[in-house]
Amino acid sequence: MPVETASNALLVTGGGRGIGSRIAVLAAEAGYPVVVVYRSRRDEAEQTLAQIKERGANGLVIQADMSIEEDILRVFDAVDARFDGLAGVVNNAASNGGRARVMDLKREQLALTFETNVYAPFLCCREAALRMSTKRGGSGGTIVNISSGASRIGSPGVWVHYASSKAALEAMSLGLSKELAADGIRVNVVRCGVIDTEVHAGHGEDRLQQLMSQVPMARMGTPDEVASAVVFLLSAQASYITGAVLDVAGGL
């Protein structure tokens, strides 16, 4: 369903590949101009941009490290310069910090995980709210934060730090959904299960089988299934939904 103001852009962090790329492409099909933010692998980001343009939508690719505030500000400045306004933000960029038991966890791993998964989305939400708030002259908008089923199970022995960061992201989303509702901004979460991306492909067969044994539907999800949920929450069909956590996890 096309957006009402097609000149207002959707910003997707981590949009160059995997789930983020599919969100960007399906959003373009829905009529959004899409800003794809990537940290590395420019070739994959450019491929995503080509798919956006194939669907008749406007697009922009920006390189940025979302763990750095200056890069975040530069991204939003670029959106201001290129588009009439901001329709929404999808905070998809994430880092798992690397596998580690707590006794082996390094401070640098913890810092990277929280800077990318908590601080960056918080700052992006701040910048988005400043632009979209109807009280500040904006036209309202939508924020969708991408979380993980790890937030509920804690991921003991491998990614407690990652699980904790995603739990923090969900708490932030709930609070902001209430704080920003009067500003015409909806905030929701899509919580992913085991999705068929290179992240899970790199786990090794034993770890993957362990994960799959916990999924009632007994299969991995696809990036398109996540992207479809995100585009729904962005759309006018979800106009009375805020503060929700939508599980795309096969029953996990």
d(CA 25, CA 45): 11
The amino acid at 70: E
- Tell me how crowded residue 109 is: count the other CB atoms within 10 A of its CB: 18
The predicted model gives 57-76 an average pLDDT of: 97
Q: Is the pLDDT of residue 86 over 80?
A: yes
Cα 117 versus chain centre, distance:
10
Cα 84 to Cα 9, 50, 77, 158, 248: the distances in Å are 8, 22, 12, 44, 32
Per-residue pLDDT of 155-170, as tens digits, reads: 888 889 999 999 999 9
Q: Give Dmax (Cα) for the chain.
A: 53
| Token pair listed for 234 | 């962005």
Looking at the domain 8-247, which fold is it? Rossmann fold (3.40.50)
Question: What's the confidence (pLDDT) of residue 210?
Answer: 73
Q: How many Å from the N-terminal Cα to the C-terminal Cα in the chain? A: 29
Q: According to the model, what pLDDT value does residue 4 have?
A: 39
Amino acid making up residue 120: A
**Mean confidence (pLDDT) of the chain:** 93
pLDDT at residue 144, as a whole number: 98
Contact in structure between 87 and 9 (CB atoms under 8 Å): yes
Mean pLDDT across the stretch 64-70? 95
The alpha carbon torsion through 138, 68, 13, 169 (nearest 10 deg) reads -80
Show me where the domains of the chain are located: 8-247
> Is residue 1 predicted with pLDDT exceeding 50?
no
Which region holds residue 86: left if phi is over 0, alpha if psi is between -120 and 50, else beta? beta
Q: What is the pTM of this model?
A: 0.93
- Tens digit of pLDDT for each residue in 7-49? 899 999 999 999 999 999 999 999 999 999 999 889 999 999 9
Q: Which residues are catalytic?
A: 162
> Pairing relation of β-strands 141-148 and 185-192?
parallel
